[in-house]
A and B are shown apart, each in its own frame.
Chain A
């Protein structure tokens, strides 16, 4: 019924990407391995911190308040800054080097960038473990009597930012090399995405500097107390959301070609427009993070909410491009059945499983993100557990699983080893998603009920609703499931990285490459139906939220109106 007339790729054959990674100069390989290792270390630290935090919130572990908030700080700093930024920096470098085909340009700058980022990593982890707990946003007002903590915390992020700039400049110079050599007159879609992404990394570094340089200067006695940190943080925070999403979509492009041979059937131009759209939509959609700020006027609130409706445009467009390209290519190779074509994807390959489940998690995450961006709903949900409840679909389900998928493809080529137990690794993404579903469902329900985002003891002398601890216990169960499954994936990636024994046996891929003739003639409904389901889910949960507000026993006006 849904058989596809394509063979599995020849055993031992290398794709363009893996062949180019394998052929990189030794010094580049050493730099990339160092950064991959550091990124994985950050992920492990963040994972441990997050798991312990979840258990503490579930009531299974007890800590003194300062220790508990230090753990939460370590979790956030490790995952949101060092795992996500380090992995983005190194993926940008390795993909740029592969685009170039001859390794990195401005190599000393790339090494300088790595050194700065690692110095920042060390500083941030040390002060997070020993200083006043500042959580990952490092608000100076929490340590007005402890400039040392504020200063070192800010220094860590500033070093990371400086390293990102140096890495990005090296990445930009690298993707320009084929054009400088006269081998190409324009970028490939991946090349352009890398170029824009690297620019975006620099902007993120500017945003981090804007947010944290005042804190460092104050700690040194060279500037006033950074009273506006909250506002400056929101700008960085918005970049922190968008940048890894753009990276994720780029990795999906790369992996789709790697795993199926399929490139966009809509041409490089549309892909370039979509990647550019990430940058076009970033600034106008940033206000929704501030809906609870008391000094935001009502008109800005309304405009910010309307603009936020566009926040998913590039991601959904990229999703539609990738899914329609895959479906059309599969059908051109004889696939039939409404969704049956998907069975032809190489699901036995752990990279494919991670990417596929990442897409499912993206749909879940976007659904609830769109509940939060409504300015009338934010006063019910912001600062509650709704936020971690939904963003773990993104942070763990989408971003982390996508980047692990990239590692599962790149590391064997980089180190010459073998992917560790692919049959086991391919099962983990489904388990991660099950854990996230439990965590997310309980967390989002807790958020609707007002469970605070950052409180360990939610008893409040017995006044709090009886459902709160039950929901937090479910959060702990969900976190345990996905933490264990994710740990297996991370362990597998680390073993792969350390593996020195090459193997002819490679994780399976398929070859759906085809000429343009006949591609797209058959309907490709998977993308549109998925998006329709997404919009329907958005409607349902938005209506639920409005109904909850309307049925609550207060009538309120003024979402934090300030004067």
Chain B
């Protein structure tokens, strides 16, 4: 499947959010568990959207 920039951009968004969520999760002294939930939730969402893009590319009629 062709990896166009749209897919990469969505994956990068998910990755950045996941890293930020991990930082807040792994450093409890920051004291902001809400950031883990929101940015982590966002990371999962954009991973799902990346999956949707892949699925749509596979499902789309060729021609």
A and B touch in the complex (CB under 8 A): yes
Identify which of B31, B39, B60 contacts A283 (C-beta below 8 A). B39
| CB-CB under 8 A for A203 and B38, given A176-B56, A180-B56, A180-B59 | yes
Could you say which residues of chain A place their CB within 8 Å of the CB of B38? Answer: 203, 206-207, 210, 235
Please report whether the interface of chain A is mostly helix, strand, loop or mixed according to DSSP: helix
Return the 7 tightest CB-CB contacts between A and B, nearest first: A182-B61, A276-B9, A283-B20, A203-B42, A232-B34, A206-B41, A279-B13
Q: How many residues of A contact B (CB 8 A)?
A: 35
Q: Is the CB of B16 within 8 A of A283?
A: yes
Nearest Cβ distance between residue B37 and chain A, in whole angstroms? 5
Q: 1/0 per position for A177-201, CB-CB distance to B under 8 A?
A: 0011110011100001001100100
Could you say which residues of chain A place their CB within 8 Å of the CB of B45? Answer: 199, 202-203, 206
8 Å CB interface, A375-411 against B: none
Q: How many residues of B contact A (CB 8 A)?
A: 32
| CB-CB under 8 A for A231 and B60, given A199-B45, A283-B20, A284-B20 | no
Q: How many residue pairs bridge A and B at CB < 8 Å?
A: 85
Q: 1/0 per position for A250-286, CB-CB distance to B under 8 A?
A: 0000000000000000000100110010011001101
Could you say which residues of chain A place their CB within 8 Å of the CB of B29? Answer: 297
Please report whether the interface of chain B is mostly helix, strand, loop or mixed according to DSSP: helix
In the complex, what residue of chain B is closest to A200 when comparing beta carbons? B42
Could you say which residues of chain A place their CB within 8 Å of the CB of B16? Answer: 279-280, 283-284
Give A228 to B59 CA distance when docked, in angstroms. Answer: 45
Give A325 to B16 CA distance when docked, in angstroms. Answer: 30
Identify which of B5, B37, B60 contacts A273 (C-beta below 8 A). B5
What are 6 A-B pairs at a CB distance below 8 A? Answer: A176-B56, A202-B45, A203-B45, A210-B37, A283-B39, A297-B29
Nearest Cβ distance between residue A317 and chain B, in whole angstroms? 14
Nearest Cβ distance between residue B60 and chain A, in whole angstroms? 5
| CB-CB under 8 A for A186 and B60, given A276-B13, A280-B12, A280-B16 | no
Could you say which residues of chain B place their CB within 8 Å of the CB of A192? Answer: 6, 9
